[in-house]
Structure 1
């Protein structure tokens, strides 16, 4: 049985954590399959939008503490020689739109992965937690990412207490983008993914990359980088198609080329 499933339909790739008997805790084998799924999504030309979700009643119970490869991952070299940017949740450069569809508890490693998605759609029964400080260890990637997402004090609420946060509170602070009834979660995620596929995929990726990279740039550098990306995207077939479709008053047929 695959610990992570990958399904591609109508330009939408659904990546599903599939270890429900262990509450989707991340062991070494699951981590390897998850990394491979994100690599496939990044490289597959027909995959324009990604959905991260999970089977069973728990989205993710965090790293499997019985398996060190699941808890901290594996990578070449020692941690002082190279950063562990070797996966989606640790900061893989991926500029395709991503959606997290979250139900039940979303803990530790699972929450770190969710934080890297552009849109978090969660059921009213979802909850979120970084429990590391209750085990005597620090949260690292979550601590880097979360304050930019929800603000300082809201981030510290999760990071420094180790206590679970309800879906209602997560929606209030902006961690959740949209909250829905549990029965509607998957349909809502798929509907939003379909909406995203209506736009030009290469233009989306260029826009997201500008937003991502310019966060660490000054204004002049940001504008120069953005204008460079505009020229790169302007040379694609999709731009010609978009303009022609506008002239013809018809929906464009994107090809991601």
Structure 2
């Protein structure tokens, strides 16, 4: 149960969960408390077999300004920083390894670890006015942990340029560089995300869950290993009732009726 004062708001509507970063006065900076709430809720939702999609949103004018720098400076110890970045890394890995698609819904700025959040989600839709940067370099801190996510979402040279210059890019450039999927007029952000959610939820839940797990795992494999692994996964997927129903529906020219197994 969340309240208006919680650093993270959780809303469940049918098979879709929306997690809303709720520190608008701090531009949704990732405090220890917010990271803890993100991890706790991601862990709980990952065990929900009825879930079809997650939307990661934010309250206020910004998506996320990165780590809470005031909180970080209040504890200037290397051990503390190592634990903090490890905690943040677990959240990012939980997004990547989450069993169903996670969509970032981005307005305003997404900087440093906020940009890392966007890059760690499976899909991202942003308002035209959104801005993205990994700007730690501007305060003497290379965004090393965000670099892990960026280099897995963007062309290497484009990611390094952002990391080493701290330059902000707009939504159009973010689409061109693969950081986000689409940019839409600010007033159409809600509708665009809802349409994407609806499309995903219209597909077989078995195929979507199978596909996300397979997609993420094969990324780290050599080409021959990836094909061997993917072939086995696809053969197993073919044995699912949903696959039989989907193929029969296609042949019979009718809408499929998914059974979820």
Q: Tell me the TM-score normalised to structure 2 length.
A: 0.85
CA distance in 2, matches of 1:209, 1:59: 27
CA distance in 2, matches of 1:34, 1:168: 28
**Bigger shift: residues 202-211 or 56-65:** 202-211
- CA distance 1:139–1:90, shift in 2 (3 Å): farther
Aligned-residue offset at 1:149: 2.0
Question: What's the counterpart of residue 209 of structure 2?
Answer: 205
1:147 aligns with 2:160: no
1:3-14 equivalences in 2 (<5 Å): 3-14=7-18
CA distance in 2, matches of 1:54, 1:173: 23
CA distance in 1, matches of 2:200, 2:14: 11
Question: What's the counterpart of residue 232 of structure 1?
Answer: 236
1:222 aligns with 2:188: no
- Contact 1:5 1:18 (C-alpha < 8 Å) held by counterparts: yes
- CA distance 1:255–1:35, shift in 2 (3 Å): farther
- CA distance 1:70–1:140, shift in 2 (3 Å): farther
Question: What's the counterpart of residue 111 of structure 2?
Answer: 107
Aligned Cα root-mean-square deviation (Å): 2.8
- CA distance 1:222–1:83, shift in 2 (3 Å): farther
Question: What's the counterpart of residue 254 of structure 1?
Answer: 258
CA distance in 2, matches of 1:116, 1:124: 20
Unaligned runs of 5+ in 2: none
- Contact 2:95 2:102 (C-alpha < 8 Å) held by counterparts: no
CA distance in 1, matches of 2:251, 2:98: 32
Question: What's the counterpart of residue 57 of structure 2?
Answer: 53
- Contact 2:103 2:121 (C-alpha < 8 Å) held by counterparts: yes
Q: Identify the match of residue 15 of structure 1 among 14, 19, 38.
A: 19
Unaligned runs of 5+ in 1: none
1:120 aligns with 2:124: yes
